[in-house]
Amino acid sequence: MKFISLIITLIFIIIFNSKLHSDTLNLTLKSAIQIAIESSPNSFIINEVKKQREESYKSFKASLYPQLSLDLNAPGAIREINQITQNDGTQRFLQQSQLFSSGGLNISQSIPSLGTNISLFSGITRLDIIEPTKSQIWRTTPYQFSIDQPIFNFNSLYWERELQKLRSKNIDKQYIEEFEELAIKITNSFFDLYVAKMNLDNAMRNVSANDSLFTISQGRYSVGKIAENDLLQSELALLNAKNNVETFKIEYENTKIKLRIILDLDRNIEIELNEPTNVYEGDVDFELAYSKMIENNSNVLDFLITEKEAERELDRARKSNGFNANISMSYGSNQSSPQIDAAYQNLLDRERFNVGVRIPILDWGRRSSNYESALANLKQTQIQIELDKQNMEQEVKYTALRLNQLKDQVKLSENSVSIAEKRLDLAKKRFLIGKIDLNDFFVAQNEKNNAFSNYIGSLRDYWNNYYRLRRLTLFDFERNENIQY
């Protein structure tokens, strides 16, 4: 029985340790970003936004294909007094009651480049006259081919097609950019937690060091080797260090919750962060970064879209209130008869032709004002686009140069931390043997704290700039290839 109990105990210990291990997640910066990309709520939103953009473009493309529709009118009723022309040319007014129903099949096709609309129609109508005398008639249109051609009119479908083409090219670029924006967001949340953890660890080390110093100071004060002011200074430093620990504990827990939420992690999972020291060793070439920004950044196409939209409004202002015409023509056949089969026999030609012309005579300068306003807007847009392009060039240049600088700065600040820690350790030893006073020790301690803060800050700036440059260029400089998701 003792052997069985031992086995059961060992099994429970293994299960407990396994569960404990499974509830701890070791995170690097890149693994946190990968989790966010694969399974976070933000990732779901990004994918749904892309799907919405794709479906919107598919819907527009479908509108350019032939459209087939079946139009049905359920039986309707008319009861009214109508003017009737008699055989002898006289007019009579009779009350008539009618029932009617109709159905038709229509196929239409637009030609965006010309603004033309072509359609083919086939339909049938039944008319039942109830009073004054009962009768029935069928009217048929076996086929009717129609064409509608605007001349000098604003062609909205052409402009929409051109803009939709450009927007569709940006869908994948925007998709990748949004994931890179997410990477920047995760980087900030990761370093919020990392900085809070390092600050807490540093504060706890300071408590330990200051506690030892306060104990020593009490002993020295009791034998009269230091003044009461030095003792109080030592005690105050200890209290401040303990207060910092409590402050950083709250900050650490708060930032941990935020990172857990953005990664959609279970609240029972404990997060352990690994320091992101694996900086990119190579230098970023500005010319390469700039060329990749021009090739991949969605803003470049957005500039073209914005300019096209301004050109569209100028075209609208030029044509909407000016001379324009519309030519409509149709050709087909029709017939009517009391019998449905006879309504499809001995078909008669049905032809229509119409030219409509609109000539503005007096508009009190409205057309001219609209045109000048649209022209000014186009010029303003073009100037703003040039400024935005220059700002983008400056941004990518600054980010690339800053990244190269931060790579060296991270190494220097890391060495500074090492030197400051050695100096603090030496200062502590010298204080213990009475070679320096408390002020000298606290100077060394503050220098160590500042060196540590500078190191964490430069590390954070490096990774922010790293992912910022990826966002601007959609290019992976480590793998030397365009980013794909």
Cβ-contact 159, 153 below 8 angstroms: no
* 115-151 per-position pLDDT tens digit: 899 999 999 998 887 777 788 889 999 999 999 999 9
3-state secondary structure at position 88: coil
In this prediction the pTM is 0.81
DSSP run (H or E) holding 275: none
- Domain 25-56+162-307+379-482 bears CATH identifier 1.20.1600.10: yes
Is the Cα dihedral 28, 29, 30, 31 positive or negative? positive
Quick count: other Cβ atoms within 10 Å of Cβ 95? 10
> Which residue, 148, 95, 93, 103, is CA-closest to 123?
103
Instruction: Return the structure tokens found at 319.
Output: 């044509």
C-alpha torsion angle, residues 190, 193, 197, 202 (rounded to 10): 90
- Report the share of the chain in percent with pLDDT over 90: 54
Q: Write the DSSP string, 140-203.
A: EEEEEEEEEEEES---HHHHHHHHHHHHHHHHHHHHHHHHHHHHHHHHHHHHHHHHHHHHHHHH
**CA 194 to CA 202: how far, in whole Å?**
12
Query: What's the rounded mean pLDDT across residues 330-334?
Result: 92
| CB 247, CB 219: distance < 8 Å | no
Written in H, E and C, the secondary structure of 219-254 is HHHHCCCCCHHHHHHHHHHHHHHHHHHHHHHHHHHH
Place 11 in a pLDDT band, splitting at 50, 70 and 90.
very low
Q: How confident is the model at residue 9 (pLDDT cuts 50, 70, 90)?
A: very low
Using alpha carbons, select from 416, 412, 410 the residue that is nearest to residue 447: 416
Whole-number pLDDT of residue 19: 40
Closest CA to 296 of 172, 467, 473: 473
Q: Which pLDDT tens digit goes with each residue over 223-234?
A: 777 788 878 888
Query: For the packed helices 298-320 and 156-222, what is the interaxial angle rounded to 10 degrees?
Result: 140
Mean pLDDT across 79-97: 71
Mean pLDDT value of segment 432-457: 85
| pLDDT recorded at residue 20 | 41
Q: With 0-12 CB in 10 A as exposed, 13-18 as middle and 19+ as buried, what is 101?
A: middle
The pLDDT, as a whole number, for residue 89 is 66
Res. 329 pLDDT band, cuts 50 70 90: very high
pLDDT at 3: 47
Which residues neighbour 307 within 8 Å (Cβ) at sequence distance 6 or greater?
378, 381, 382, 385
The strand pair at 24-27 and 270-273 is best described as parallel
Q: What is the pLDDT of residue 214?
A: 83
Beta bridge partners of 125: 102, 139
- The Cα-based distances of 320 to 110, 113, 153, 358 in angstroms read 20, 17, 7, 10
Mean pLDDT for 34-59 is 95
Domain spans of the chain, in order of start = 25-56+162-307+379-482
266 exposure class (CB count in 10 Å sphere: 0-12, 13-18, 19+): exposed
The neighbour count for residue 86, using CB atoms within 10 Å, is 8
Strand, coil or helix: 373: helix
| Predicted pLDDT of residue 84 | 67
Give first-to-last CA distance, the chain, whole Å.
Answer: 58
Residues 223-257, buried b or exposed e (16+ Cβ, 10 A)? eeebeeebbebbeebbeebbebbeebeebbeebbe
How far does Cα 429 stand from its chain's mean position?
A: 57
**Residue 5, pLDDT above cutoff 70:** no
Question: What's the sign of the alpha-carbon dihedral 317, 318, 324, 327?
Answer: negative
